[in-house]
Amino acid sequence: MRLSDRVLMISPSPTMAIDAKAKEMKARGINVVGFGAGEPDFDTPDHIKEAAVAAIWGGMTKYTPVAGTNELKEAICQKFMVDQGLDYKPSQIVVSAGAKHSLYNAIEVLVQAGDEVILPAPYWVSYLEQIKLAGAEAKIVETREDNGFKLTPAELESAINERTKLIILNTPGNPTGAVYSEEELTALGEVIVKYDITIISDEVYEKLIYDGLRHVSIASVSPELKERTVVINGVSKAYAMTGWRIGYAAATVSIASAMADLQSHSTSNPTSIAQAASTAALTGDQKPVSQMVIEYTRRRDYTLERLQSIKGITCARPGGAFYLFPNVKAYFGKSFKGKAINNATDLAAVLLDETQVAVVPGVAFGNDDCFRLSYAISMDSLKEGLDRISWLMGEIR
């Protein structure tokens, strides 16, 4: 039996081998410090859980409309108005089984074979694979560490050609934590409008933002940009609800309708109970989010200071999300106990083997000069893991 070409073109995750080995080591009782977490280490707030329980006992266990309940879509519209001043109607909202599902739906309905999608690097791992699954090609644009890994208008314009259909922006970004300012988005927007490009704006980390920065959606910059933008968001990161699997998209009625039609023939509606919980998350007490941000800020500052104190490591200061993306290129061409280190993937393997620290090599994000560390782990684990990293870096020759 031969598998389809579309699935054969998917690249295996370069992180899988290290992740599998880390899990196997933990199963054997080895004390592995894992910096790979892509989810909050906090629990879902109680009032959100209670809403889910009430939904179960209230009989909310049947199909809902494919694009989500009206209550949740109304709550999402209200959230957009309060947070970004964006006016959306429920007919412009599509609720899906996680923000990744929303992204998949959006890419599938917006591009086709032969189209190019501009993808700033470093990028989240699934963007590239979803572009390939849609039959399109990614036009990867390298961003610079000295510019905070943010795309500039000149870099954007140089990547555009007659095949360009779409650009994917992610702010705050994974893996770098980069946050675009209103001025930066306005400048990018001028290029986007000039060439009539569609935007997917992934804003799932918008609530996790630091240093007095403000999240700005590119859709809020101008009416012209709003018409060209599909905003992707969800409850996973802000409300510690990764397992609940609720994401959502906001777009023009025509795009939203197409996404809902696609979803109707794949997954149908997202889980009814999780939708009730998500409504409570968006409309209820927001103090747990603020408390998470305070704790993440403390962890980020500590981790960044420790990394920057290690000779040879440079690290841009992230303005949002819960990741750091340190550059370790200074160690390439060296070795530890005879193990050659030629890229961040090699270094990640040495870290796991020799210090039992698991990090995600940057090749997964399009930049193998760096690796990604999540600070969505306890302060004790951060301290222990950074002690081990610091020791190993001092022993590399």
List pLDDT tens digits, range 306-342: 999 999 999 999 999 999 999 999 999 999 999 999 9
User: 3-state DSSP call for residue 234?
Assistant: strand
Name the pairing type of β-strands 247-250 and 93-96: antiparallel
Which residue from 365, 326, 323 is spatially nearest to 205, judged by alpha carbons? 323
Q: Within a 10 A sphere around the Cβ of 258, how many other Cβ atoms?
A: 18
Encode pLDDT of 136-181 as tens digits.
Answer: 999 999 999 999 999 999 999 999 999 999 999 999 999 999 999 9
pLDDT tier at 38, thresholds 50, 70, 90: confident
Encode pLDDT of 199-232 as tens digits.
Answer: 999 999 999 999 999 999 999 999 999 999 999 9
Distance CA 168, CA 124 (A): 10
Domains of the chain: 5-43+288-395 (3.90.1150.10), 47-283 (3.40.640.10)
* Dihedral angle computed from the Cα positions of residues 133, 134, 135 and 136, in that order, rounded to the nearest 10 degrees: -110
Q: What is the percent of the chain with per-residue pLDDT over 90, rounded to a whole number?
A: 93
Write out the H or E segment, with its range, that includes residue 371. Answer: strand 371-374
pLDDT for 22 = 81
pLDDT for 37 = 80
Distance CA 197, CA 195 (A): 6
Whether residue 192 is predicted with pLDDT greater than 80 in this model: the reply is: yes
The neighbouring-strand residues paired with 198 are 166
Which residue from 272, 228, 204, 226 is spatially nearest to 66, judged by alpha carbons? 272
Name the pairing type of β-strands 116-121 and 137-142: parallel
Average pLDDT over all residues of the chain? 96
Q: Looking at residues 374-383, what average pLDDT do you find? A: 96
Residue 84, token pair as written in the block: 């970004």
pLDDT for 9 = 86
Q: φ and ψ at 279, to 5 degrees?
A: -60, -45
Q: Is 30 exposed, middle or buried (0-12, 13-18, 19+ CB in 10 A)?
A: exposed
Write out the H or E segment, with its range, that includes residue 292. Answer: helix 287-308
Please, are residues 166 and 110 in contact by the beta-carbon 8 Å criterion? yes
Distance CA 97, CA 106 (A): 13
pLDDT for 195 = 98
Distance CA 94, CA 270 (A): 10
pLDDT tier at 268, thresholds 50, 70, 90: very high
Residue 345, token pair as written in the block: 């993937």
Please, are residues 198 and 232 in contact by the beta-carbon 8 Å criterion? no
Please, are residues 342 and 20 in contact by the beta-carbon 8 Å criterion? no
Residue 199, token pair as written in the block: 């935007």
Write out the H or E segment, with its range, that includes residue 118. Answer: strand 116-121
pLDDT tier at 11, thresholds 50, 70, 90: confident
